[in-house]
Structure 1
Amino acid sequence: MTRPVPWIPSVLYGAVLLGGLYYAAIGPGPGVRSAGFAGLLCALTVLDAREWPVASGAVFAPGAVFALRAVLLGAVAALDPSGLSRVLFVLLPFLAFFVWGRTVSVVLGAGCVAALAGVFTVRVPHWEVRAEYISDLLMFALGVVLAIAMAAVAVREQQARARLEGTLAQVAELSAARERNRLARDIHDSLGHHLTAIGIQLEKAEAFASLDAAGSAQAVAHARWSANRALDEVRASVRTLGPEAGSGPAGLGRALTDLVHHLDGGSGRITLEVSGTERRPLLVLYRAAQEGLTNACRHSGATQIRVDVAYEEQGAVLRVADNGGGFGTAEEGFGLAGLRERLRLAGGSVLRSSATGTVLTVRVPW
């Protein structure tokens, strides 16, 4: 594991180096031991400054580097007459935490404290009754505890950062998926409807080309209107990337009237009834009307299609009913699934029933 706080060893090495050189300057004076002391600290700094690969020897590589560090620390302590370098041994449990985890770190920290007590026992007679050595041992033990705690905090912070990055990546992926779904709904609800209308009108124009030239020309004009309308909606969809639950054509009643007129082509098969006072245009109702009319014209075989819009106190209700053959056991298609998602985002509901013909009922709160 990469150490999240690689600067801590270097700071300790620098502090001990300055303290040791200062002690030599005011005491015995610089000499060979001081030069060796400084050189070993520089070697330790270089050792901890680089990342050692573990792929070539999954256990041996970090273990070998750690053993080399321990040997160098022992050599520094042997060449340091001031005794300041013993503080560097807190780095052993600190660095072990990042390689082998908490258990090894705690065991190694306890071993370092025990080793210092052993050194005092060998070198200082009756040290256990001398306050300065008891204080040194307690301060070293406290340093070990703080080093392990700092390593634990650093590891948890690193893990939390990794989890946060993973969460942010998931959020970005979900946002992209949501936007793809929105664009797919737009393509289906807008282009799909208008392509269906164009197909119906062109079929009508072809059928009546030799029988009713005026009716055929009117059907072509309606198909052209649907094509232009599809182009306008594509441009509007490209310009806005936000959800469309609360925005829509200016004047839903007028937009629905225009839609029915061009889709019906003057045949009288589709009728529209609007009641109540419109408070604000709702694009989701317009999309619902497109979905209901497209399915009725394409699949139901209906001869009569009725569209009712009622603006009530609590919200708006759209009802598209036809006298066709109903949907039977057919599975719900992408269009209705997309419409349900639109209604969910708008806080509304959609219900499709098939007793005689098909009835699509949509409710949207204000």
Structure 2
Amino acid sequence: MPRPVPWIPAVLYGAVLAGGLYYAVTGPGFDVRTAGFAALLCALGVLDGRTWRVPVGGVFALRAALLCAVAALDVSGLSRVLFVLVPFLGFFAFGPGVGVALGAGCVVLLAGGFTVWVPGWAVRAEYISDLLMFALGVVLALAMAAVAVREQRARGQLEGTLAEVAQLSAARERNRLAREIHDSLGHHLTAIGIQLEKAEAFAALDPAASAQAVSHARWSANRALDEVRASVRTLGPESESEPVGLSRALAGLVHHLDGGTRRISLDVSGTERRPLLVLYRAAQEGLTNACRHSGATEIGVTVRYDEAGARLCVTDNGGGLGGAEEGFGLTGLRERVRLAEGTVDVSSSERGTVLVVGVPW
């Protein structure tokens, strides 16, 4: 529910109180009636200055009763201006329709009061002027209330939008970190598992090959730790953690996965213009799936650079991805490539899998 502008009633209370006290001091003098007038105005200020845990209608009725009591005790007649607060506050409490109806009712009541207590007021300029000024004050009060309500609603919508943007940004950052963990850490854990299997298989037959496999596993573990630290340290755009040279980074990936019963080839042609993290992650995803899911023995990684951009192709002769094609890895890869304005194509069957990723410069 919109809240009234707090300073408007306070200003009116202060102005009427100052005017009434000045009139009392310079005219009939300060008496019990004037004291009651001042006390009730202070009570109105306290009522409007706090939030009460009572129904809105109850607070509004109490305020209206206090306004009538102030008007009855006011010998100066200035307090009638306070009745513009009735439609103003009613606008916030009950809506614009009730506010307008209360404003019209206050104007009618003032005219009726003049008719009852001031004979011939309709031909006296001062009373006609008072009625017109009061009606104008009601119109201005309703207009101010409408502006305040629109402003509060717009502020609420803006705050809601900002909160939604913050939530979306947080969700996007969580997804990015999840992709980083899956693509980098998941790949290196796969590589470590492969190298340790190789070391175990060659432990008795070829100690040198077994030791080399353990060294490769250690390298993958250190590399995974470095990438996790980099992700936590930067928490920034993906470009901040791009490898220096895609070709060199891919050569490292192939070197530490190749061997044993699995052969991995790398073919790069063209001129690399800048490092492309999205292709590096695509190669990680393709190699990880080929090693982990398909049981491939022959894997080929091809990179082509041209004037338009770069194209990566990872092929294998395994049994296909199965349900892995719908997993988090390829879903995250598609999102990465989409943000880079590239394309992804994955085809998988019992004869193997082909992953093709194209990214513009």
TM-score category, normalised to shorter length: over 0.9
The number of residue pairs the alignment matches comes to 360
- Alpha-carbon distance in structure 2 between the residues aligned to 1:361 and 1:141: 76
Deviation at 1:288, TM superposition (A): 0.6
Over residues 88-110 of structure 1, what are the superposed CA-to-partner deviations in whole Å (9 max), with x where a residue is unaligned?
00111111122221221111111
Distance 1:77 1:42 in 2: 14
Give the Cα–Cα distance (whole angstroms) in 2 for the partners of residues 2 and 354 of structure 1: 59
| Greater mean deviation of Cα atoms: 105-114 or 355-364 | 355-364
Shift of 1:285: 0.8
1:227 aligned partner:
221
Aligned equivalent of 1:160, options 151, 154, 158: 154
Q: Within 2, Cα distance between the matches of 1:5 and 1:71?
A: 21
In structure 1, the residue matched to 2:56 is 62
Structure 2 unaligned blocks of 5 or more: none
- Structure 2 equivalent of residue 365 of structure 1: 360
- C-alpha contact (below 8 Å) 1:352/1:360 kept by paired residues: yes
| CA deviation string 1:106-159 (max 9, x = no partner) | 111111000000011112222222222222111111111111222222223222
1:244 corresponds in structure 2 to 238
2:293/2:324 contact within 8 Å kept: no
Note the alpha carbon deviations across 1:27-69, whole angstroms, 9 max, x for none: 3333333222222212222222222212xxxxxx433332232
| 1:63-78 matches, cutoff 5 A | 63-78=57-72
Amino acid at match of 2:178: A
Q: Residue 326 of structure 2 aligns to a residue in which SS? A: coil
Displacement of 1:265 in angstroms is: 3.4
Please state how far the C-alpha of 1:329 moved relative to its aligned partner: 6.6
Q: Following TM superposition, by how much is the alpha carbon of 1:350 offset from its aligned partner in structure 2, in angstroms?
A: 0.9
Structure-2 residue corresponding to 1:313: 307
User: In 1, distance between residues paired with 2:260 and 2:266?
Assistant: 13
Equivalent residue runs for 1:88-237 within 5 Å:
88-237=82-231
Task: Indicate conservation of the 8 Å contact 1:202/1:219, yes or no.
Answer: yes
CA contact (8 A) 2:295 2:318 kept: yes
Query: In the aligned structure 2, how far is the partner of 1:267 from the partner of 1:302?
Result: 9
Over 3 Å counting, the alpha-carbon distance change for 1:196 and 1:357 in structure 2 is same
Q: Which amino acid aligns with 1:313?
A: E
The alpha carbon displacement at 1:314 in A equals: 1.0
Task: Tell me, yes or no, if the aligned pair for 1:34 and 1:80 is still in contact at 8 Å.
Answer: yes
> Where does structure 1 lack aligned partners over 5 or more consecutive residues?
55-60
What is residue 32 of structure 1 aligned with on the other side?
A: 32
Q: Distance in 2 between matches of 1:170 and 1:16?
A: 45
Give the partner amino acid of 2:353.
Answer: T
Of residues 193-202 and 233-242 in structure 1, the stretch that sits farther from structure 2 once superposed is 233-242
The one-letter amino acid paired with 2:303 is V
TM-score normalised per structure 2: 0.94
- Tell me how far 1:221 sits from its aligned partner: 1.1
The 8 Å contact of residues 245 and 342 in structure 1, kept in 2 or not, is answered as no
Paired with 1:285 and 1:331, the residues of 2 have a C-alpha distance of 18
Contact 1:109 1:144 in 2 (8 A): yes
Structure 2 distance, partners of 1:63, 1:208, is 86
d(CA) in 1 for partners of 2:250 and 2:74?
A: 91
Give distance in 1, aligned partners of 2:240 and 2:42.
67
Letter in 2 for 1:115: L
Q: Distance in 2 between matches of 1:93 and 1:170?
A: 35
Give the drift of 1:330.
5.7
8 Å contact kept, 1:250–1:281 = yes
More moved, 243-252 vs 94-103: 243-252
Query: Is the contact between residue 310 and residue 316 of structure 1 (CA under 8 Å) also seen in structure 2?
Result: yes
Partner Cα separation in structure 2 for residue 253 and residue 361 of structure 1 = 16
Give the Å deviation of 1:18: 0.8
Classify 1:309/1:331 alpha carbon distance in 2 versus 1 (closer, same or farther; 3 Å).
closer
- 2:267 aligned with 1:291: no
Q: Which residue is equivalent to 1:7?
A: 7
- Name whichever of 326-335 and 223-232 sits farther off: 326-335
Residue 354 of structure 1 aligns to a residue in which SS? strand
Q: Residue 58 of structure 1 aligns with which residue? A: none
Cα root mean square deviation, aligned: 1.9
| Alignment deviations for residues 168-190 of structure 1 (CA, whole Å, 9 cap, x no partner) | 22222211111111111111101
CA–CA distance in 2 between the matches of 1:178 and 1:186?
12
- Residue number in structure 2 paired with 1:333: 327
The 10-residue stretch of structure 1 (1-10 or 300-309) with the greater mean CA deviation from structure 2 = 1-10
Between 298-307 and 83-92, the greater mean CA deviation after superposition:
298-307
Matched residue type, 2:274: R
Quick one: which amino acid aligns to residue 25 of structure 1?
V
Q: 1:262 aligns with which of 240, 256, 266?
A: 256
Query: Distance between the aligned counterparts of 2:201 and 2:260, measured in 1?
Result: 15
Which runs of structure 1 show a deviation greater than 6 angstroms over 4 or more consecutive aligned residues? none
Partner secondary structure for residue 362 of structure 1: strand
Taking every aligned residue pair, what percent have the same amino acid on both sides? 79
Kept after mapping to 2: 8 A contact 1:246/1:346 = no
Contact 1:218/1:265 (CA < 8 Å) preserved in 2? no
Q: Which residue is 1:274 aligned to?
A: 268
Q: Residues 4, 265 of structure 1: CA spacing in aligned structure 2 closer, same or farther, 3 A cutoff?
A: farther
